[in-house]
Amino acid sequence: MTTNRFDLKSKTALITGAAGLLGIEHAAALLECDCRVILTDISEDGLQSAQKQLKKEFPSGEIYTYPMDVSDLTSIQTVSYKLKYKDIDVDILINNAAIDPKVKGEQGIVETSRLENFSREQWDMQIAVGLTGAYLCSQVFGTLMAKKGNGGVILNIASDLSVFAPDQRLYRKDYLKEDMQPVKPVTYSVIKAGLVGLTRYLATYWAEQGLRSNALSPGGVFNGQGDEFVQKLSQLIPLGRMANRDEYRAAVQFLCSDASSYMNGQNVVMDGGRSVL
Ligand SMILES: NC(=O)c1ccc[n+]([C@@H]2O[C@H](COP(=O)([O-])OP(=O)(O)OC[C@H]3O[C@@H](n4cnc5c(N)ncnc54)[C@H](O)[C@@H]3O)[C@@H](O)[C@H]2O)c1
Protein backbone atom coordinates (compact mmCIF):
# COMPACT_ATOMS: atom_id res chain seq x y z
CA MET A 1 0.00 0.00 0.00
CA THR A 2 1.37 3.46 -0.85
CA THR A 3 0.87 6.36 1.54
CA ASN A 4 -0.67 9.51 0.14
CA ARG A 5 1.85 12.19 1.03
CA PHE A 6 -0.66 14.89 0.01
CA ASP A 7 -3.17 13.71 2.60
CA LEU A 8 -4.06 16.46 5.12
CA LYS A 9 -6.91 14.63 6.87
CA SER A 10 -5.93 15.36 10.47
CA LYS A 11 -4.53 18.84 9.75
CA THR A 12 -5.87 22.35 10.23
CA ALA A 13 -4.86 25.26 8.03
CA LEU A 14 -5.39 28.95 8.73
CA ILE A 15 -5.49 31.23 5.68
CA THR A 16 -5.27 35.02 5.84
CA GLY A 17 -7.01 37.18 3.27
CA ALA A 18 -9.09 34.07 2.60
CA ALA A 19 -12.06 35.93 1.14
CA GLY A 20 -10.10 37.15 -1.87
CA LEU A 21 -9.56 35.70 -5.32
CA LEU A 22 -6.66 33.39 -4.43
CA GLY A 23 -7.50 32.89 -0.73
CA ILE A 24 -10.59 30.90 -1.74
CA GLU A 25 -8.46 28.83 -4.15
CA HIS A 26 -5.92 28.03 -1.40
CA ALA A 27 -8.80 26.89 0.82
CA ALA A 28 -10.23 24.74 -1.99
CA ALA A 29 -6.80 23.20 -2.58
CA LEU A 30 -6.53 22.15 1.05
CA LEU A 31 -10.14 20.95 1.26
CA GLU A 32 -9.39 18.70 -1.73
CA CYS A 33 -6.83 17.02 0.58
CA ASP A 34 -9.38 16.71 3.42
CA CYS A 35 -7.77 19.45 5.49
CA ARG A 36 -9.85 21.46 7.95
CA VAL A 37 -9.66 25.15 6.98
CA ILE A 38 -9.96 28.34 9.00
CA LEU A 39 -10.78 31.26 6.74
CA THR A 40 -9.72 34.64 8.12
CA ASP A 41 -10.10 38.05 6.51
CA ILE A 42 -10.73 41.64 7.48
CA SER A 43 -13.97 41.52 5.47
CA GLU A 44 -16.76 39.74 7.38
CA ASP A 45 -19.11 39.79 4.38
CA GLY A 46 -16.31 38.43 2.21
CA LEU A 47 -15.81 35.56 4.66
CA GLN A 48 -19.48 34.62 4.58
CA SER A 49 -19.60 34.50 0.80
CA ALA A 50 -16.27 32.61 0.61
CA GLN A 51 -17.61 30.00 3.03
CA LYS A 52 -20.83 29.69 1.02
CA GLN A 53 -18.91 29.26 -2.22
CA LEU A 54 -16.58 26.64 -0.72
CA LYS A 55 -19.47 24.75 0.89
CA LYS A 56 -20.97 24.31 -2.59
CA GLU A 57 -17.78 22.65 -3.85
CA PHE A 58 -17.04 20.80 -0.58
CA PRO A 59 -20.38 20.08 1.15
CA SER A 60 -18.75 17.91 3.81
CA GLY A 61 -15.65 20.09 4.23
CA GLU A 62 -14.85 21.48 7.68
CA ILE A 63 -14.74 25.26 7.14
CA TYR A 64 -14.59 27.87 9.92
CA THR A 65 -14.51 31.64 9.53
CA TYR A 66 -12.99 34.29 11.80
CA PRO A 67 -12.72 38.00 11.04
CA MET A 68 -9.08 38.95 11.59
CA ASP A 69 -6.96 41.99 10.72
CA VAL A 70 -3.41 40.79 10.06
CA SER A 71 -1.98 44.23 10.79
CA ASP A 72 -3.33 44.13 14.35
CA LEU A 73 -1.61 41.81 16.84
CA THR A 74 -4.59 41.88 19.23
CA SER A 75 -6.92 40.75 16.44
CA ILE A 76 -4.60 37.83 15.61
CA GLN A 77 -4.23 36.86 19.27
CA THR A 78 -8.00 36.96 19.72
CA VAL A 79 -8.42 34.40 16.94
CA SER A 80 -5.69 32.23 18.43
CA TYR A 81 -7.46 32.29 21.84
CA LYS A 82 -10.78 31.43 20.21
CA LEU A 83 -9.17 28.46 18.46
CA LYS A 84 -7.51 27.33 21.69
CA TYR A 85 -10.90 27.49 23.42
CA LYS A 86 -12.27 25.19 20.71
CA ASP A 87 -9.25 22.91 21.12
CA ILE A 88 -8.12 23.58 17.54
CA ASP A 89 -4.38 23.67 16.80
CA VAL A 90 -3.14 25.26 13.60
CA ASP A 91 -0.74 23.03 11.62
CA ILE A 92 -0.50 25.14 8.46
CA LEU A 93 -0.44 28.92 8.13
CA ILE A 94 -0.88 30.57 4.73
CA ASN A 95 0.11 34.24 4.82
CA ASN A 96 -1.87 35.45 1.83
CA ALA A 97 -3.48 38.77 2.84
CA ALA A 98 -2.39 41.85 0.96
CA ILE A 99 -3.66 45.16 -0.23
CA ASP A 100 -3.24 45.00 -3.97
CA PRO A 101 -4.17 48.40 -5.28
CA LYS A 102 -5.32 48.01 -8.84
CA VAL A 103 -3.25 50.14 -11.20
CA LYS A 104 -5.82 52.37 -12.87
CA GLY A 105 -4.54 55.90 -13.39
CA GLU A 106 -6.65 58.98 -14.11
CA GLN A 107 -7.61 59.28 -10.47
CA GLY A 108 -6.90 62.93 -9.69
CA ILE A 109 -4.63 65.84 -10.26
CA VAL A 110 -1.52 63.83 -9.45
CA GLU A 111 -0.91 60.12 -10.05
CA THR A 112 -0.56 58.81 -6.49
CA SER A 113 0.90 55.43 -7.46
CA ARG A 114 4.07 57.12 -8.80
CA LEU A 115 7.11 57.07 -6.54
CA GLU A 116 7.37 60.87 -6.53
CA ASN A 117 3.81 61.20 -5.19
CA PHE A 118 3.47 57.98 -3.19
CA SER A 119 2.34 58.91 0.32
CA ARG A 120 3.83 57.72 3.58
CA GLU A 121 0.29 56.66 4.60
CA GLN A 122 -0.03 54.34 1.59
CA TRP A 123 3.43 52.93 2.25
CA ASP A 124 2.69 52.27 5.94
CA MET A 125 -0.73 50.74 5.29
CA GLN A 126 0.38 48.40 2.52
CA ILE A 127 3.53 47.26 4.36
CA ALA A 128 1.47 46.76 7.55
CA VAL A 129 -0.80 44.27 5.80
CA GLY A 130 1.42 42.54 3.25
CA LEU A 131 4.65 42.25 5.22
CA THR A 132 4.13 43.08 8.91
CA GLY A 133 0.93 41.03 8.80
CA ALA A 134 2.84 37.93 7.67
CA TYR A 135 5.43 38.48 10.40
CA LEU A 136 2.78 38.92 13.13
CA CYS A 137 0.78 35.84 12.05
CA SER A 138 4.00 33.81 11.87
CA GLN A 139 4.97 35.05 15.32
CA VAL A 140 1.64 34.02 16.87
CA PHE A 141 0.83 30.79 15.01
CA GLY A 142 4.42 29.76 14.24
CA THR A 143 5.33 30.01 17.92
CA LEU A 144 2.39 27.78 18.83
CA MET A 145 3.32 25.23 16.13
CA ALA A 146 6.98 25.21 17.24
CA LYS A 147 5.99 24.75 20.90
CA LYS A 148 3.71 21.85 20.07
CA GLY A 149 6.70 20.13 18.48
CA ASN A 150 4.63 18.40 15.85
CA GLY A 151 6.13 20.10 12.82
CA GLY A 152 4.04 22.42 10.72
CA VAL A 153 4.12 24.58 7.64
CA ILE A 154 4.19 28.30 6.93
CA LEU A 155 3.47 29.25 3.33
CA ASN A 156 3.98 32.88 2.34
CA ILE A 157 2.21 34.00 -0.81
CA ALA A 158 4.65 36.30 -2.57
CA SER A 159 4.51 37.08 -6.31
CA ASP A 160 6.58 36.81 -9.46
CA LEU A 161 7.45 40.41 -8.56
CA SER A 162 9.53 38.97 -5.71
CA VAL A 163 12.13 37.98 -8.33
CA PHE A 164 11.91 40.73 -10.94
CA ALA A 165 10.90 44.38 -11.16
CA PRO A 166 7.48 45.43 -12.42
CA ASP A 167 7.42 46.24 -16.11
CA GLN A 168 5.74 49.63 -15.83
CA ARG A 169 5.07 49.69 -19.61
CA LEU A 170 2.21 47.27 -18.88
CA TYR A 171 0.24 49.99 -17.12
CA ARG A 172 0.98 52.78 -19.63
CA LYS A 173 -1.85 54.73 -21.17
CA ASP A 174 -0.58 56.53 -24.24
CA TYR A 175 -3.00 59.43 -23.94
CA LEU A 176 -1.70 60.42 -20.45
CA LYS A 177 1.19 62.81 -19.72
CA GLU A 178 4.39 61.23 -18.37
CA ASP A 179 3.84 62.40 -14.79
CA MET A 180 0.27 61.06 -14.85
CA GLN A 181 1.25 57.53 -15.97
CA PRO A 182 0.08 54.96 -13.39
CA VAL A 183 2.59 52.42 -12.06
CA LYS A 184 2.73 49.34 -9.88
CA PRO A 185 3.61 50.93 -6.53
CA VAL A 186 6.98 50.53 -4.86
CA THR A 187 5.39 48.78 -1.88
CA TYR A 188 4.49 45.74 -3.95
CA SER A 189 8.10 44.94 -4.84
CA VAL A 190 9.33 45.68 -1.32
CA ILE A 191 6.65 43.51 0.33
CA LYS A 192 7.12 40.54 -1.98
CA ALA A 193 10.93 40.55 -1.77
CA GLY A 194 10.55 40.99 2.01
CA LEU A 195 8.31 37.92 2.21
CA VAL A 196 11.04 35.83 0.60
CA GLY A 197 13.47 37.10 3.26
CA LEU A 198 10.96 36.28 6.00
CA THR A 199 10.53 32.80 4.50
CA ARG A 200 14.28 32.10 4.62
CA TYR A 201 14.56 33.46 8.15
CA LEU A 202 11.71 31.31 9.47
CA ALA A 203 13.00 28.27 7.58
CA THR A 204 16.17 28.14 9.64
CA TYR A 205 14.73 29.60 12.83
CA TRP A 206 12.25 26.78 13.42
CA ALA A 207 13.96 24.00 11.44
CA GLU A 208 14.82 22.02 14.58
CA GLN A 209 11.15 22.00 15.54
CA GLY A 210 10.30 20.56 12.12
CA LEU A 211 8.43 23.69 11.12
CA ARG A 212 9.02 24.35 7.41
CA SER A 213 8.56 27.68 5.65
CA ASN A 214 8.33 28.24 1.92
CA ALA A 215 7.05 30.92 -0.41
CA LEU A 216 4.85 30.58 -3.47
CA SER A 217 5.27 33.27 -6.11
CA PRO A 218 2.34 33.29 -8.51
CA GLY A 219 2.26 35.17 -11.77
CA GLY A 220 -0.76 37.29 -12.70
CA VAL A 221 -4.16 35.60 -12.56
CA PHE A 222 -6.69 36.36 -15.26
CA ASN A 223 -9.66 38.04 -13.64
CA GLY A 224 -11.37 40.02 -16.36
CA GLN A 225 -8.62 42.62 -16.83
CA GLY A 226 -8.87 44.72 -20.00
CA ASP A 227 -7.83 43.22 -23.35
CA GLU A 228 -4.94 45.62 -23.90
CA PHE A 229 -3.33 44.79 -20.54
CA VAL A 230 -3.88 41.04 -20.96
CA GLN A 231 -2.33 41.11 -24.44
CA LYS A 232 0.71 43.14 -23.35
CA LEU A 233 1.32 40.90 -20.33
CA SER A 234 0.79 37.68 -22.27
CA GLN A 235 3.54 38.72 -24.68
CA LEU A 236 5.98 38.72 -21.75
CA ILE A 237 5.05 35.17 -20.72
CA PRO A 238 6.51 32.20 -22.64
CA LEU A 239 3.26 30.24 -22.14
CA GLY A 240 1.54 33.20 -23.78
CA ARG A 241 -1.23 33.72 -21.24
CA MET A 242 -2.07 34.72 -17.69
CA ALA A 243 -2.80 32.03 -15.08
CA ASN A 244 -6.21 30.59 -14.37
CA ARG A 245 -7.19 31.09 -10.74
CA ASP A 246 -7.14 27.36 -9.95
CA GLU A 247 -3.67 26.69 -11.41
CA TYR A 248 -1.91 27.22 -8.07
CA ARG A 249 -3.99 24.65 -6.19
CA ALA A 250 -1.58 21.76 -6.80
CA ALA A 251 1.41 23.84 -5.67
CA VAL A 252 -0.39 24.77 -2.45
CA GLN A 253 -1.17 21.10 -1.84
CA PHE A 254 2.47 20.18 -2.44
CA LEU A 255 3.92 22.93 -0.25
CA CYS A 256 1.49 22.40 2.64
CA SER A 257 1.74 18.60 2.82
CA ASP A 258 4.38 15.96 3.45
CA ALA A 259 4.83 15.77 -0.32
CA SER A 260 7.29 18.65 0.18
CA SER A 261 8.78 17.31 3.44
CA TYR A 262 12.36 18.08 2.33
CA MET A 263 11.62 21.55 0.95
CA ASN A 264 12.38 24.44 3.28
CA GLY A 265 13.14 28.12 2.74
CA GLN A 266 12.42 28.10 -0.99
CA ASN A 267 10.54 30.47 -3.24
CA VAL A 268 8.52 28.47 -5.76
CA VAL A 269 7.97 30.71 -8.77
CA MET A 270 4.99 29.79 -11.02
CA ASP A 271 4.86 32.43 -13.70
CA GLY A 272 4.40 30.65 -17.05
CA GLY A 273 8.14 31.08 -17.57
CA ARG A 274 8.19 34.88 -17.42
CA SER A 275 11.15 35.07 -15.03
CA VAL A 276 13.44 32.92 -17.21
CA LEU A 277 13.25 35.15 -20.29
N1 LIG B 1 -4.18 37.80 -8.13
C2 LIG B 1 -2.97 37.79 -8.68
O3 LIG B 1 -2.82 37.90 -9.91
C4 LIG B 1 -1.76 37.60 -7.82
C5 LIG B 1 -0.53 37.38 -8.42
C6 LIG B 1 0.61 37.22 -7.63
C7 LIG B 1 0.49 37.27 -6.26
N8 LIG B 1 -0.72 37.50 -5.68
C9 LIG B 1 -0.79 37.56 -4.23
O10 LIG B 1 -1.73 36.61 -3.77
C11 LIG B 1 -2.35 37.08 -2.58
C12 LIG B 1 -3.86 37.09 -2.77
O13 LIG B 1 -4.16 37.92 -3.87
P14 LIG B 1 -5.65 38.09 -4.43
O15 LIG B 1 -5.54 38.36 -5.86
O16 LIG B 1 -6.51 36.98 -3.93
O17 LIG B 1 -6.06 39.47 -3.71
P18 LIG B 1 -7.48 39.93 -3.22
O19 LIG B 1 -7.41 41.43 -3.15
O20 LIG B 1 -8.55 39.30 -4.03
O21 LIG B 1 -7.56 39.34 -1.74
C22 LIG B 1 -6.85 39.87 -0.67
C23 LIG B 1 -7.68 39.68 0.58
O24 LIG B 1 -6.96 40.25 1.69
C25 LIG B 1 -7.91 40.85 2.54
N26 LIG B 1 -7.28 41.85 3.41
C27 LIG B 1 -6.92 43.13 3.10
N28 LIG B 1 -6.43 43.73 4.19
C29 LIG B 1 -6.46 42.82 5.19
C30 LIG B 1 -6.08 42.86 6.56
N31 LIG B 1 -5.59 43.97 7.13
N32 LIG B 1 -6.23 41.74 7.30
C33 LIG B 1 -6.75 40.61 6.75
N34 LIG B 1 -7.14 40.52 5.47
C35 LIG B 1 -7.00 41.62 4.70
C36 LIG B 1 -8.94 41.46 1.61
O37 LIG B 1 -10.17 41.70 2.29
C38 LIG B 1 -9.03 40.40 0.52
O39 LIG B 1 -10.09 39.48 0.77
C40 LIG B 1 -1.76 38.46 -2.32
O41 LIG B 1 -0.69 38.34 -1.43
C42 LIG B 1 -1.28 38.89 -3.69
O43 LIG B 1 -0.25 39.84 -3.64
C44 LIG B 1 -1.84 37.66 -6.44
Point out the ligand 1 atom lying closest to the alpha carbon of residue 24: 16
Point out the ligand 1 atom lying closest to the alpha carbon of residue 69: 32
Say what the pLDDT of residue 95 is. 99
Mutate to test the pocket of ligand 1, among 14, 15, 16, 22 (most ligand atoms within 8 A of CB): 22
Point out the ligand 1 atom lying closest to the alpha carbon of residue 242: 3
Where does ligand 1 bind, in terms of residues with CB under 6 Å? 16-17, 19-23, 41-43, 46, 68-71, 96-100, 129, 157, 159, 218, 220-221
What lies within 8 Å, CB to CB, of 176 at 6+ separation is 105, 106, 182
Say what the pLDDT of residue 107 is. 62
Nearest alpha carbon to residue 26 among 249, 215, 216, 229: 249
Q: Which residues of 251-265 are buried (b: 16+ CB within 10 A; e: fewer)?
A: bbbbbbbbbbeeebb
Mutate to test the pocket of ligand 1, among 15, 16, 21, 189 (most ligand atoms within 8 A of CB): 21
User: Ligand 1 centroid vs 187 CA: distance in angstroms?
Assistant: 14
Helices 44-57/21-32 angle, 10° precision: 40
Tell me which residue has its CA closest to atom 7 in ligand 1: 159
- CB atoms < 10 A from the CB of 4, how many? 13
Tell me which residue has its CA closest to atom 21 in ligand 1: 20
User: Ligand 1 centroid vs 42 CA: distance in angstroms?
Assistant: 11
Point out the ligand 1 atom lying closest to the alpha carbon of residue 25: 16
> 38: which strand partners?
14, 64
User: Ligand 1 centroid vs 103 CA: distance in angstroms?
Assistant: 15
User: Ligand 1 centroid vs 208 CA: distance in angstroms?
Assistant: 31
Tell me which residue has its CA closest to atom 25 in ligand 1: 17
Listed as ranges, residues in the chain with pLDDT below 50 are none
Q: Are the C-beta atoms of 31 and 94 separated by less than 8 Å?
A: no
Say what the pLDDT of residue 253 is. 98
Residue type at 19 in one-letter notation: A
Tell me which residue has its CA closest to atom 4 in ligand 1: 220
